[in-house]
Amino acid sequence: MLEKMKKFEGIIFYIFLFCLIFALCYAWTSVDPDFWARLLQGFAVLETGSILYNDPFSYVPRHAWFDHEWGSGVIFAIIQNLFGYNGQFFLKAFLMFFSLFFVLKTIKIRGLKNTKLYNFLFFCFILYSLDISLISGIRCHFFTFLFFSIFLYILEAVRINNKNKLLYILPLLMVFWANIHGGCVSGIGLILIYGLGEFFNKKPFMKYIYTFLCTSLMLFINPYGTDYVKFLIHATTMPRPLIVEWQSIFQKTLLHLIKAKIFFVISITVFLGSLIKQIKFKEKINYTNILTILTVGFLAFSHVKHIPFFILTSTALLYDDFFFFFNKMILKIRTILNIKSETFIKKFVTIKEIVVYILVIIEIIALINIHNRVKYSKLLDSYPVKIVEFMKINNLKGKILNKFGDGSYLSYKLYPQNLIYMDGRYEEVYNDETFLYNWHFYNFIDDENIKWNDIFKVYEEPDYIILDTGDNIYYNIQCLKNYIPIFSDKEEYLYIRKDLIRKRYLIPKYPDKYYIDNYFDRIIKFNNNIKI
């Protein structure tokens, strides 16, 4: 039986890998806060044949909408039209699987057998380190993970096997990548790192520089022209200390990143151990790999959003080092326990891996069960679903002051009936201070520059305010003397300006299934001659 399993171990490995990835993606039914804005842009393209160059959804001042994710929006909208939100689970699993597939191919280029049964446990560790990405809803970042893995694979194939013609593919891929997600700059940076690394390795490096220049020029092939490139430079370099994904991975408050932190520490330890080993035994140092690991590692340490890049990169480039130190550890354990039989070790490893596969099957079943248990409650708890329904049936038109994370959902469900304050598109649409006024208001914070209520002085006074009990302003609600609550949904409250109050309101009394069935319904159809 064991021999038969070894014959098909590669196929078994990939089947189990995809099933585990899909189960992880499928388990959590959350919808990313920016997904709604992506759908709106995607539907606009499908229904009008043009992107939205300006944002129509907000009542605060905005600049031109430089949507570096417009291509993702079109893909999401097509999937949503054809398969509903279940289709997004498959898309996310597909993108994550092929991201790891190209990482595995990169490892293979480096001359290592990576799909043996005993290695699956290592990739379980990789996936659970990535779970902060997998348990979120579908995001444009998943396209970037795939493209980044492809770029890394091609660059390693060129460096190790001199397959120089593969470099022609990179500019072509960049045309698509640049119009799908702004993370395309990571691919350009990767090419530059390889050029510098090969320079220090005293190997031909100009081919990387030429590829870097050609690939960079592909950024200009987009609906916005040169303005898009200026925007990418601004968006990549601007500080965003109040946004979690732009904070350091080792921020004390980010306890949910414990698995990613463990992976980071282990990877850096293995990297340093490998470097010391190379220096001690006077082995040839690969400066390209060193520069790549150090650069991506520094970015991951500085910003949460770069953790997946570090995990993918270190898996591909440190795989042999991981197992070198692992095997050293096993050898020491064998010595301590006085185990000398190689046959015993091989059988032990194979049996251990069979146990791992059995546990993975149990985990997949458990994850699907989680999906079945939380698919209704999670969706209803994520956004002010019932407040939206209340506003719709009572035809409450006007401006809504909302939290950063709820904006896209409110636009998707209520535009053009209502305008929002802002959503998560941040630098794509809004001025820098717009977020700061919102943050000070909801956190009820004064500082030397901004007071909590400056938001009413700088921008138009809203007709409605949505709060929940997690907002600091909720506990100081007496400060909002001009607003009174008219509807609540568990921990979320809708406040209305006093001069707009009515005597009677319709109260929605639908069962939860109604909200689930209509979760992705929208008022706006962009081809209905609505001014946008």
- The tens place of each residue's pLDDT in the chain, 532 residues long, gives 555 556 677 788 888 888 888 888 877 778 889 999 999 999 999 999 999 999 999 999 999 999 999 999 999 999 999 998 889 989 999 999 999 999 999 998 877 654 454 477 778 778 878 776 666 788 999 999 999 999 999 999 999 999 999 999 999 999 999 999 999 999 999 999 999 999 999 999 999 999 999 999 999 999 999 999 999 988 888 777 777 777 888 877 666 678 888 889 999 999 999 898 888 888 888 999 999 999 999 999 998 888 999 999 999 999 888 877 776 676 666 666 666 655 555 555 566 666 677 777 777 776 666 655 555 556 777 899 999 999 999 999 999 999 988 999 999 999 999 999 999 888 889 988 999 999 999 999 998 889 999 999 999 899 999 999 888 998 888 888 899 999 998 789 999 999 999 989 999 989 888 988 899 999 888 876 555 5
pLDDT at 491: 82
* Of 109, 138, 181, 178, residue with least CA distance to 29: 138
* pTM of the predicted model as reported, rounded to 2 decimal places: 0.90
* DSSP H stretches of helix in 201-286: 206-217, 226-237, 258-280
pLDDT at 347: 55
Question: What are the beta bridge partners of residue 496?
Answer: 464, 484
CA distance to 63, 74, 391, per residue, from 247 (Å): 26, 30, 36
* Of 81, 15, 7, residue with least CA distance to 357: 15
List CB contacts of 483: < 8 A, sequence separation 6 or more: 465, 495, 496, 497, 498
Phi-psi region of 162 (alpha: psi -120 to 50; beta: other; left: phi over 0): left
Is residue 463 included in any domain, yes or no?
yes
Q: How many domains does the chain contain in total?
A: 1
DSSP string for 339-371: ---HHHHHHHHHHHHHHHHHHHHHHHHHHHHHH
Is residue 407 included in any domain, yes or no?
yes
CA–CA gap between residue 273 and residue 119 (Å, rounded): 21
Is residue 19 included in any domain, yes or no?
no
Q: List, as own/partner pairs, every contact residues 153-158 make where C-beta atoms lie below 8 angstroms and the sequence separation is at least 24, other chains included.
A: 153/102, 153/103, 153/105, 153/106, 153/109, 153/316, 155/190, 155/191, 155/194, 155/208, 156/106, 156/109, 156/110, 156/316, 157/109, 158/207
Is residue 277 included in any domain, yes or no?
no
pLDDT at 262: 87
Is residue 169 included in any domain, yes or no?
no
Is residue 376 included in any domain, yes or no?
no
Domain assignment of residue 425, given as a range: 384-517
Is residue 459 included in any domain, yes or no?
yes
Question: What are the beta bridge partners of residue 300?
Answer: none
pLDDT at 244: 74
Is residue 477 included in any domain, yes or no?
yes
